[in-house]
Structure 1
Amino acid sequence: MRKFIRFCLKTVFTVFKVRCSIEFDERNMPRKGVYVANHVSFLDPVLLFAFLPGDPVFALNGHLYRNRLIRFLMRTADVMPFNPIEPGDIKELIAKVDGGRLCVIFAEGRVTESGGLMKIYEAPGLVADKSGAPLIPVWIEGPQYGYFSKTKGKLPHRPLPKVRVIVGRPRSFKLKDELRRQRDHISNEVYMILREMSFEVRYNPDISLFAQLMKTAKIHAKKGLFRRPKFVEDIQRKPQSYRDIVIKSFVLGKYLKRRTEPEEHVGLFLPNSVAALCSFFGLTAYDRIPVMLNFSVGAQNMVSMCKTAQVRIVVTSLAFVKTAKMEDAVKMMEEAGVKIIYLEKAAKEIGLWDKINAYLRYKIKRVPIKKGGNRKAVILFTSGSEGTPKAVVLSHANIISNIKQMSAIETINVTDTVFNALPMFHSFGLVVGTLFPLFEGSKLFLYPSPLHYRVVAEIVYEIGASIMFGTDTFFRGYGRIAHPFDFHNIRFMFGGAEAVKPDTRNIWMERLGIRVLEAYGATECSPVVSANNRIFNRFGSIGKLLPAIEYKIEPVPGIEKGGELVVRGPNIMMGYILPDNPGVLVPLEGGWYHTGDVVEIDEIGFVYIRDRIKRFAKIGGEMVSLNAVHEMVCKAYETDGEFQYGVVAIPHESKGEQIVLATNNRNVSQDGLHAYIRANAMSELFLPRIILYMEKLPVFATGKADNVTLKKIVLAETAK
């Protein structure tokens, strides 16, 4: 009878778009084991009863056990009431598994209200650990979009959503003795397993950025019969729907297509705005590669970026160029042979047929570009404050994977409003601040500058923003100026690009009642590598590595504790384009990226940065090459090696780090260096904040500069 009912249920579910995949040979099914599943709807137990291999015991919480519909559909199943915090229930389940049974436990203990993972109980891990049975992860995807879920108003609901049940391979679950006594470590292990499953199920490596935009637009196109909700807004205060964004991207993309070649690198020189977003997607839609030009590092560096990425055409706005007083940058690019396309001129040349054509493309869901995968999606620049910037090439798969990695640890939905003032020419601002909320269906407000502290606080209050991304420098500024109620609606905020200082945390926690979650990454990693979240957060750490990221700790000479963090995963870049070899992609060896940071990782996976071995300073979130500063000083005071110059970075209470120049040349001055920087159109970030005069700088026996010793001397001198 039980087999017959399961067969009937499976047949009905299959007709209604339910699919089940099992990642192991059922002939190797363990005799006993613990199925641990996420919980997205009230129908989950019935789905698993129909599809799971074996004949498991279903441990159901009270609200499910008492549900008449579930009890009727599962009347032939072996069901027991189960309280995940009741020792007696856990012992009873351990005894059943010890006796050779399979069991099913929903790790969250209740149906999710966010669509993602919530609190994880330790019961599944305890049962597996005490019984010596393997843990078999199960991920249920799809019912959260149906009427049996608890996500109404947060996720778009459909009458018959596609449903997938994925049964992972059995895995041993034995804890170390020192961890077994701490129950939060047990729930942590279960959480990490389900988090990996979440990413694997939701990540599609073949989809392109524009196809993902179209997919999201289809889901969120309408609310009711006629209403089209607005999702994107900028300082022009003209909210845009997904349909608006897609159609404008088609229009602008077709205009740029006529003036460019397939896979051509096209520069974008625009602030955060709807225009920048549509320009980005317009290029992507027609198989052109956006090159995000960092206009904060000086005109000379912008010309260098164009040469490195072999940019022939740059898209910008005349109004922006005039407002930002960037005429010199435009002039230098034109002198270097770069053609400038102004959006104002493009708007006048775009005709009615172009708009009709774009509308028809949207209606028939015609996506003109190829699949995404490992094809170029965007080019950004790391170390943008160097004299010769390196280009970082990210693929469609890199960016999509990082977005899905982030959504696996923190869920955002249509009830959220994300405020993003981080510039789109940085990977943090582009991928995390812009594409992440856009692809997850939340509202997005784009602001052109993170430095307008008072204005930012006012806009966050006005729009009721619930999520923010930023850096320590910016968060410190907002926290000090804002009214305590300006950020009243913030659910969470991620800080990256530089370490979040204790003072900044205290300002936000004590004055505003908000916890800042610290994340870590690099442009080369699309960008996030690790992050804290609301479930697992430790002050002083950069969180846990994201799903699907492999790592190794390589020893660093002279450093006893920890080692250099080296990572590999689907979000790691395609490679560099180097200034001395323009236009040529140089892939990473073996796909491993050396972060240049010395880290330690504790027993449950939290990562702590202990030191930096790369020769860079982080000033207000901007990376400044210490070697480039050294080279600038040597050129400013050409002495044929007569004098010594050493450049180090030391902590600064508001900017993150500051540059100190040590030298035995008494002629060096800040005024002289400042004049050289301005005369050569270099970034003001190159100017050392402190100049320290010394008789002799420390060197190794080989004559190489001993920067470790020099930094100790500088710290001692500046502390006096």
Structure 2
Amino acid sequence: MSEHANTPILTGPELSGLSEYHAVTDVFHAAVKRHADRPAFSCMGQTLTFADLDRLSANFAAWLQHETPLKPGDRIAIQLPNVLQFPVAVFGAMRAGLVVVNTNPLYTEREMAHQFKDSGARAIVILANMADKLERVLGKTDIEHVVVTELADLHGLPKRLLINAVVKHVKKLVPAYSLPGAVPFRQALKSGAGKQHQDVQRELDDIAALQYTGGTTGLAKGTMLTHRNLVANMLQARLAIGTGLNEGREVVIAPLPVYHIYTFTVNCLFLMETGNHSILITNPRDLPAFVKELKGLQFTAFIGLNTLFNALCNREDFRALDFSRLHLTISGGMALTRAAAERWKEVTGCDIAEGYGLTETSPIVTFNPMDAPQLGSIGKPVAGTEVKVVDADGNDQPFGEPGELCVRGPQVMKGYWQRDDETAKAIDAGGWFHTGDIAVLQDDGYIRIVDRKKDMILVSGFNVYPNEVEEVVAAHPGVLESAAVGVPDEESGEAIKLFVVARDESLDAETLRAWCKKDLAGYKVPRFIEFRDELPKTNVGKVLRRQLRDEPQKAAD
């Protein structure tokens, strides 16, 4: 870690290895050759080895090349939860030279129609559970080729038939749909198995994936992530995290969605490249089933985020699990609170290493050194990465002063798909990507995120960062989780409103305010407190502050 001589910039170590690869598919081929007989992905008790993944993805690539007119560079949407079909479809599509458009299975019809039309996707692989939605929006898109898969399509008999029948007929999770011409996923694989595919060589600057942002400020934008972006970030993850892993021997719990950039890069690239075994959790929201699936697993690593750590540690069945082999826990996606980290360490005996990233940075920007994690920080820049902070006028800020975090490195996106104006706003002439996050660069080389720029609350001219308020509140033993937002106020411009999910039903607003007053300046203490049974969250588990902020305000203590 070094500091530039004249400007307050932190720089990661040198990045090496990028010249080894031309594309993500090169990483894939090296991994399956080196680790052929090892398990790559498991889901609901079924496992694919690296050799299985190679064979099945080749079959899918052959089907795409022989049974469709799709050409290299065409877009294919993949709308799947954490199932074995996901890595098969992704690597099959990339081997055929296609651009992957990762699509959230929880999307509404409006969101699906926008993403498919905006990306120009000509094909889709979709879970049968949401095929009825596709039927209703298909006419608004350019999609010509539909592949439908059921939840357990890559399981063996009789388990495949049993699981699919229960999902469809007992749980009624597959609404009726009509998609004439749609091809079942298993049929596509069978058809491709009889044909020879030709791997398409892509170059580092070609687009590998369109990864859509959450769209919290309007319609979601497609982030153009090149093969260079994804390969670089895989190598950066290897250098930052790899020292804490035993290649080919780790069993890693992957509860976060693989279509999200966090898990997409860490599990489908970094952990695959290092020959490790990812356990895909299809529905982590079903906590009893999730914990049941963990029983008996000798897992060694866990990838999650703050809300999930909180929820699991609050369960007796989770606390009763065997954590004797767990030696690595990674947090990302949202700020990690000290209370959650300390509780996780107390329950599992494992420290949490927090990292930071965004969709636009593939995603990893910083990570806590494995040998010296600093709780409360997002760590240091990963290899080949520069970071600085700037004020509202774009002036560099000194160490210790908050400002907008800016990033420059090989993992920074090519730009927003068909939105040159938005790209110009996000990436300046010097190649710096402006994250929208407020951060402080510390003298010791670590970085702290203060808050999202858009979430900052202005109380009588004073900046209040919700993360700071939530950090203090989270330390109260009676609080499970919380969210602080700004609400309009005639006297102070904005006032702080706190939404709380209590662990202790006897907890009241005054007790909580008194707790806050011990560690927060008066203007940072929430004026309004509302207790809730749960907080709205994204599919990844981030609390939706904007939704809380935009709700009609009702009476609160």
Asked if these proteins are the same fold (TM beyond 0.5), I'd say yes
Within 5 Å, which residues of 2 pair with 1:220-299? 220-221=35-36, 228-235=37-44, 237-257=45-65, 258-259=67-68, 260-299=70-109
- Which deviations, in whole Å up to 9, do the C-alpha atoms of 1:490-536 show, x marking residues without a partner? 11111111111122112111222121111111010100111113212
Note the C-alpha offset of 1:351: 7.7
Distance change >3 Å, CA 616–CA 341, structure 1 → 2 = farther
Measured in 1, the distance between the counterparts of 2:333 and 2:456 equals 12
Distance change >3 Å, CA 584–CA 660, structure 1 → 2 = closer
**Counterpart in 1 of 2:437?**
597
Q: Which amino acid aligns with 1:414?
A: G
Per the normalisation by structure 2, the TM-score is: 0.70
Note the C-alpha offset of 1:429: 1.5
Measured in 2, the distance between the counterparts of 1:253 and 1:587 equals 35
Task: Kindly indicate whether the alpha-carbon contact (under 8 Å) linking 1:578 and 1:584 is maintained by their aligned counterparts in 2.
Answer: no
Question: Paired residue for 2:236, among 397, 405, 409?
Answer: 405
SS at match of 1:405: helix
**Counterpart in 1 of 2:374?**
538
Within 5 Å, which residues of 2 pair with 1:30-179? none
Measured in 1, the distance between the counterparts of 2:268 and 2:296 equals 19
SS at match of 2:310: helix
**Counterpart in 1 of 2:203?**
372
Question: Paired residue for 1:331, among 121, 136, 139?
Answer: 136
- Which deviations, in whole Å up to 9, do the C-alpha atoms of 1:534-575 show, x marking residues without a partner? 212111111111111022221236999222211111111111
- Which deviations, in whole Å up to 9, do the C-alpha atoms of 1:563-617 show, x marking residues without a partner? 2211111111111125799999997644321011222222221001123313599
Measured in 2, the distance between the counterparts of 1:377 and 1:462 equals 37
**Counterpart in 2 of 1:528?**
364
**Unmatched segments (≥5 aa) in structure 1:** 1-170, 175-191, 222-227, 362-366, 618-647, 665-682, 695-716
Q: Which amino acid aligns with 1:443?
A: H
Distance change >3 Å, CA 528–CA 656, structure 1 → 2 = farther
Question: Paired residue for 1:196, among 1, 10, 13?
Answer: 13
**Counterpart in 2 of 1:213?**
28
Measured in 1, the distance between the counterparts of 2:327 and 2:553 equals 49
Measured in 1, the distance between the counterparts of 2:121 and 2:422 equals 10
- Which deviations, in whole Å up to 9, do the C-alpha atoms of 1:145-191 show, x marking residues without a partner? xxxxxxxxxxxxxxxxxxxxxxxxxx99x9xxxxxxxxxxxxxxxxx
Distance change >3 Å, CA 334–CA 692, structure 1 → 2 = closer
Within 5 Å, which residues of 2 pair with 1:18-37? none
Task: Kindly indicate whether the alpha-carbon contact (under 8 Å) linking 2:97 and 2:202 is maintained by their aligned counterparts in 1.
Answer: no
**Counterpart in 1 of 2:531?**
none
Task: Kindly indicate whether the alpha-carbon contact (under 8 Å) linking 2:121 and 2:142 is maintained by their aligned counterparts in 1.
Answer: no
Q: Which amino acid aligns with 2:117?
A: K
Distance change >3 Å, CA 562–CA 687, structure 1 → 2 = closer
Distance change >3 Å, CA 663–CA 289, structure 1 → 2 = farther
Q: Which amino acid aligns with 1:561?
A: E
Task: Kindly indicate whether the alpha-carbon contact (under 8 Å) linking 2:305 and 2:332 is maintained by their aligned counterparts in 1.
Answer: yes
Note the C-alpha offset of 1:455: 2.6
Note the C-alpha offset of 1:346: 3.7
- Which deviations, in whole Å up to 9, do the C-alpha atoms of 1:303-342 show, x marking residues without a partner? 1111221223221132x43xxxx63354224454534613
1:471 and 2:305 matched: yes
Q: Which amino acid aligns with 2:206?
A: R
Measured in 1, the distance between the counterparts of 2:543 and 2:109 equals 12
- The Cα RMSD (Å) is 3.7
**Counterpart in 1 of 2:178?**
none
Distance change >3 Å, CA 534–CA 403, structure 1 → 2 = same
Larger Rg belongs to: 1
Q: Which amino acid aligns with 1:262?
A: P
SS at match of 2:296: helix
Within 5 Å, which residues of 2 pair with 1:220-619? 220-221=35-36, 228-235=37-44, 237-257=45-65, 258-259=67-68, 260-318=70-128, 320-321=129-130, 327-336=132-141, 338-339=143-144, 341-344=146-149, 345-347=183-185, 349-350=187-188, 354-357=192-195, 368-411=199-242, 412=245, 413-481=247-315, 482-556=318-392, 561-577=401-417, 589-614=429-454
Count the aligned residue pairs: 440
Percent same amino acid at aligned positions?
A: 20
545-554 vs 557-566, which moves further:
557-566
250-259 vs 402-411, which moves further:
250-259
Q: Which amino acid aligns with 2:32?
A: A
SS at match of 1:239: strand
- Which deviations, in whole Å up to 9, do the C-alpha atoms of 1:383-435 show, x marking residues without a partner? 24454101101111111111111111222311101111211221002111332
**Counterpart in 1 of 2:539?**
none
Task: Kindly indicate whether the alpha-carbon contact (under 8 Å) linking 1:575 and 1:585 is maintained by their aligned counterparts in 2.
Answer: no
**Unmatched segments (≥5 aa) in structure 2:** 150-182, 458-464, 475-479, 491-541
Per the normalisation by structure 1, the TM-score is: 0.55
Measured in 2, the distance between the counterparts of 1:661 and 1:545 equals 35
Q: Which amino acid aligns with 1:269?
A: Q
Measured in 2, the distance between the counterparts of 1:611 and 1:353 equals 51
Measured in 1, the distance between the counterparts of 2:312 and 2:297 equals 16
Measured in 2, the distance between the counterparts of 1:502 and 1:539 equals 7
- Which deviations, in whole Å up to 9, do the C-alpha atoms of 1:325-374 show, x marking residues without a partner? x633542244545346134434464486731545xx7xxxxx62214311
Distance change >3 Å, CA 353–CA 433, structure 1 → 2 = closer
- Which deviations, in whole Å up to 9, do the C-alpha atoms of 1:189-243 show, x marking residues without a partner? xxx99x835x41x33364311221111111112xxxxxx33322112x2211111
Distance change >3 Å, CA 479–CA 414, structure 1 → 2 = same
Measured in 2, the distance between the counterparts of 1:598 and 1:592 equals 15
Distance change >3 Å, CA 460–CA 295, structure 1 → 2 = same
- Which deviations, in whole Å up to 9, do the C-alpha atoms of 1:420-451 show, x marking residues without a partner? 12112210021113321111111111122332
Q: Which amino acid aligns with 2:58?
A: F
- Which deviations, in whole Å up to 9, do the C-alpha atoms of 1:276-323 show, x marking residues without a partner? 1111011100110010012334221221111221223221132x43xx
Question: Paired residue for 2:548, among 673, 688, 699?
Answer: 688
Measured in 1, the distance between the counterparts of 2:232 and 2:223 equals 17
Task: Kindly indicate whether the alpha-carbon contact (under 8 Å) linking 2:25 and 2:95 is maintained by their aligned counterparts in 1.
Answer: yes
Q: Which amino acid aligns with 1:284?
A: M
Measured in 2, the distance between the counterparts of 1:210 and 1:570 equals 18
SS at match of 1:231: strand
Distance change >3 Å, CA 386–CA 315, structure 1 → 2 = farther
Distance change >3 Å, CA 301–CA 582, structure 1 → 2 = farther
Measured in 2, the distance between the counterparts of 1:614 and 1:316 equals 34
SS at match of 1:290: strand
Distance change >3 Å, CA 616–CA 489, structure 1 → 2 = farther
Q: Which amino acid aligns with 1:240?
A: L
Task: Kindly indicate whether the alpha-carbon contact (under 8 Å) linking 1:660 and 1:688 is maintained by their aligned counterparts in 2.
Answer: no
Distance change >3 Å, CA 594–CA 563, structure 1 → 2 = same
SS at match of 2:19: coil
